[in-house]
Chains A and B, each alone.
Chain A
Amino acid sequence: MVVEMKIRVGFDGHYKDLTVQIADGDIRPYQPGDPLKVVGKSEKRLEALAKATGTAKYTFDQRPTGLLYGAILRCPHANADITTLDTTTAEQMPGVMAVLKSPEIFSTNSCRYAGEEVAAVAATSEAIAEEALRSIFVEYDVLPFAVTIDDAMGENAPQVGRRDQVNVERTTPRLARQRGGGIDEEGEKQNLEQMREKEAKVDALLREAPVVVSRTFETAVQTHCPLEPHGVLCEWKEGKLICWASTQATFGVKGELSSERGPVGADTQVICDHVGGGFGSKFSAGREGVIGALLAKKAGAPVRMLLDRRGEQTAVGNRPSSRQKLTLGVSRDGEILAYRVRSWGTPGTGTGGAGANNTGVYKLGEVDKVEYGVRTNTGGARAHRAPGWPQGAYGLESIVDEAALAIGMDPIEFRKRNDDHPIRMAEYDIAAERSKWKEKRARKQGIGPIRRGIGIASNLWFSAGGGGAAVMVRIHKSGRVEVRNGAQDIGTGTRTVMGQVAAEELGLGLADVQVFIGNTDDPRGPASGGSTTIGTITPAARLAAHDAKVRLLEIVADRKGWDASTLDLRDGSVVDANGKALIPFRTACGLLDEDAIEVLAERPTIDRRNPNYAGFSDTNAGVQIAEVAVDIETGEVRVERVTAVADAGKLINPMLAESQVRGGVIQGVSFALFERRTMDRQEGRMVNADMEAYKILGSMDCPEIDVVTLDVYNGKSNTSVMGLGEPPIVATAAAVANAVADAIGVRITSLPITPRKVLEALGATRTRSDEEGTKL
């Protein structure tokens, strides 16, 4: 059911009128020139004061009476089968209230990476829980292992998986499979045929291309390291599971724990008032969630089952590594003609999810991409803020810069030559101007050891949101307004923007509405993923508030004998057609017969597969320019400044949007310069599973960040907004790498760019043997 509507879309200097189809019952998307009072304003985060005073309660902070502490025993071997698991001593220890064996819950005695769960206990103190874990007797059948992609891809590589699982599996194009999982021979034959054709075509184009550049790039495994660890606090009440979860998907956790097919299978309520970071790693209850629920059930008492930092860094996700062999053919005037990608990455013991998104953003001509997932005996990858993109952007933007250099073209001109995104084309100019690109690009290096450089990279994203969310607005007779959705706020500002769109619709201030989130007993909401939360929740919130307003005004009109069609809510009052205040909002609410108006609105969509309208642009765009200083004697790299131009569709809250961009840039710089999981190949363990040897950017490495957020009336939904959690991290490391190459005249071909790599690239080292390269 759709209706046609004429809307204006675009941004300053780039508006156009469109006739679009919108869902029946929905309201017109925000329009340029709408007199918005709360939306578009930098309202303070609703929970900011609670967080700044330490009164915000996280899962970690819940303290029900009789609380027990859960702890997990992890396998010290990279690849092993459990042959004996004896927990008798632990069970008899005073203070130990429950003991679980992992094979009995998860139906496998295989441990395929060092850190996999073996057993768990709940005890009256953490010290007792630790002693209990140490008393558990385990015998392992220790198997050969591989923890780097080189080791897993070698000639006589040990088998990482079990049964018929091969170490290296093609993921792009996806292997043709039969129902049930076996290889579909016929489908594969077609795949291979198409791949051969593609390869031949690109071969021919590359042969003819006037300039061809080729290089292999690598990125290291990055862990999420949210400050609040993964985990739950579980309590059973009359057969129902109450689960405080540190999660970015309250309903996902509920679904998992209440699933009949799962090991818990109970009616579950998930609560998450605040979550101390997730970055993509907290979509699932995880094994720790299941363990927490079962420990609490067995002990008959509430159990806090949160991971320690070693477990956190080892077992609950990471951004997979990548090795990207890229070849780009270009014309003398800068047109990209053909592009070849061969890439590999390890997502841990599986093969999926390790793709590097190195074909995004530009018009790349003919593309021949083949990609492989490589199993290693390491902790599994999970979605990590723009999964696949930062590593792919690093490869793509590096090879693009090399091509520009090869033909003597300015990198921005080269990009513009191969781009036509309506927003990004404007962003290039804004970024160049604000960073004084031309001037800095042309500068001569000084004579000291410090070399300065400037580099650019782009991003895109596609986050107008989707269906599946519902928001309840309840207007009480007293004038109190509740806005309710059961999803969580991971620090992106979901709670606040949901309140803003509802308040706007009701002609109230943000302080006049109460926002409730993070409880699965409230209307269903999305996971905080794909930067889609704001685009999924706010249209439902706006529509719910709008419909509640209509109901209220109908009642007011009826009681007062006014014409409802002439009434509106504005500035805390019911107003007439001329905007004249008639009665205060609170007085109007007092006219209700029933206790409250309740409206539950679903997020409007045209249909399930097509949740968004034809707006200004299907994707949001960004451009970042990084400026670095490199000490060529010590190899130390500092990022001094980043100019980040970002598009988040219609800005609901400019300050919160800017915070997202700054945060993305900082994580991107950290990925560019510092972060890598280091695996010991002798025993197969992560040796830096902490927050010290695993290096994370701090205050003194923070660049000055100049953020420009464009206000784009995208028209993709009634709030016109696009999410912004992920896009700002995509381009940063790539821009930094390009700036480093500009500074020192040598390209560092792997991330992170450490002093070691800078000095090695500059040929200033006396390495005994350096055939190893970056550990992946």
Chain B
Amino acid sequence: MFAQEGVLKHMPPKSDPPREDPRIGEGVSRRAFLKGASLTVAAVGVAGPGARVVRGARLDETVVPILGPGPVPMRFRVNGIERTLDAPPSTTLVDALHDVLGLTGTKRVCDRGSCGACTVMIDGRTVDSCSMLAIDAIGREVTTVEGCGTPENPSELQKAFVECDALQCGFCTPGMVVSCTALLRENPHPTRDQIAHGISGNICRCGTYQNIFEAVELAARKGGARGR
């Protein structure tokens, strides 16, 4: 089967510095992928880290970077810090954050974009990190719950979550905090309806919604998500 090459290699749950450039050796030995398609494999390493390249016959000098299916090095900023890791391109962002980088605040729950437990911000906008490939975060700014505040230096919103008991089991909380942080950055004084809209992609099974509304309102009074 096609997958023999890359993905079956051991992918340890750890964040490694970029290994030796995996372009070397891998691309050349690889057979052409699309049978009958006008694609050939080339070993021209101009496509950026970790990419093999495919030449389109009709596009004489054009090469298309192809990642994977084995691990490829990735680099993106998480909470203001440049992070690198190796993972197959099929790795979702939540798995890269939680299992590889050890940023375990971001939870994988439904794994289908229905529950929001894996919510992170990409360049300031919330997304479900289960429904995004890690490679799509390359070159972008990722903010997880850990980037919203720390136990030593919590944000006003996080303090308000504590104050208003806006959590029970706490498993949805990181996603909720990220959604509410993004909401307050866009709209420092949201109405209750706007808060409900803002967290409409986050399910809390314990039923803390009303407490979360109150926490966001309290945080808004105290200066929103920014104030730490």
Contact = CB atoms under 8 A, between A and B. Distances in A.
Touch test A–B (CB under 8 Å): yes
Interface of A: 44-45, 47-58, 60-61, 63, 67, 93-95, 124-128, 131, 225-229, 274-279, 308-309, 490-492, 655-656, 658-659, 662-667, 690-692, 696-700, 702, 704-705
Interface of B: 3, 7-13, 88, 90, 95, 98-99, 102-112, 114-115, 117, 144-146, 148-151, 154, 158, 161-163, 165-174, 177, 195-197, 199-200, 202-203, 205-213
A659 B165 contact: yes
A528 to B, nearest CB: 11
B209 A702 contact: yes
A48 B161 contact: yes
Contacts of B174: 54
A228 B115 CA distance: 12
26 contacts: A45-B165, A49-B151, A52-B167, A53-B105, A58-B171, A94-B8, A94-B9, A127-B7, A128-B11, A227-B117, A228-B109, A277-B168, A277-B169, A309-B109, A655-B165, A656-B165, A662-B208, A662-B210, A664-B207, A691-B203, A696-B203, A699-B196, A699-B200, A699-B212, A700-B197, A704-B210
A659 B168 contact: yes
A225 B165 CA distance: 22
Contact of B206 (A125, A126, A663): A663
A699 to B, nearest CB: 4
A724 to B, nearest CB: 12
A412 to B, nearest CB: 25
Contact of B172 (A48, A227, A697): A227
B207 A54 contact: no
Given A55-B105, A277-B169, 19 more contacts: A45-B165, A52-B149, A58-B107, A60-B108, A94-B9, A95-B8, A131-B7, A131-B8, A226-B205, A227-B203, A228-B169, A276-B170, A491-B168, A491-B206, A655-B165, A662-B207, A665-B207, A699-B202, A700-B200
A67 B115 CA distance: 26
Contacts of A126: 95
Contacts of B10: 94-95, 124-125
Contact of B88 (A127, A225, A690, A705): A127
Chain A interface helix/strand/loop/mixed: loop
A51 B167 contact: yes
Contacts of B200: 698-700
Contacts of A309: 109-112
Contacts of A704: 210
Contacts of B196: 699-700, 702
Interface hub of A52, A61, A276, A490 (most chain B Cβ within 10 A): A52
A95 B209 CA distance: 43
A222 B72 CA distance: 42
Interface hub of A54, A309, A691, A692 (most chain B Cβ within 10 A): A54
A704 B214 CA distance: 12
A227 B169 contact: yes
A656 B166 CA distance: 10
Given A492-B168, A659-B208, A51 B173 contact: yes
Contacts of B149: 52-53
Given A94-B9, A696-B203, A700-B200, A44 B209 contact: no
Nearest to B168: A491
B72 to A, nearest CB: 14
A126 B211 CA distance: 36
B95 to A, nearest CB: 7
Contacts of B168: 277, 491-492, 659, 663
Contact of A50 (B98, B115, B144, B151): B151
Contacts of A53: 105, 145-146, 148-151, 154, 158, 177
A454 B3 CA distance: 60
A386 B208 CA distance: 19
Given A63-B102, A277-B205, A700-B200, A52 B169 contact: no
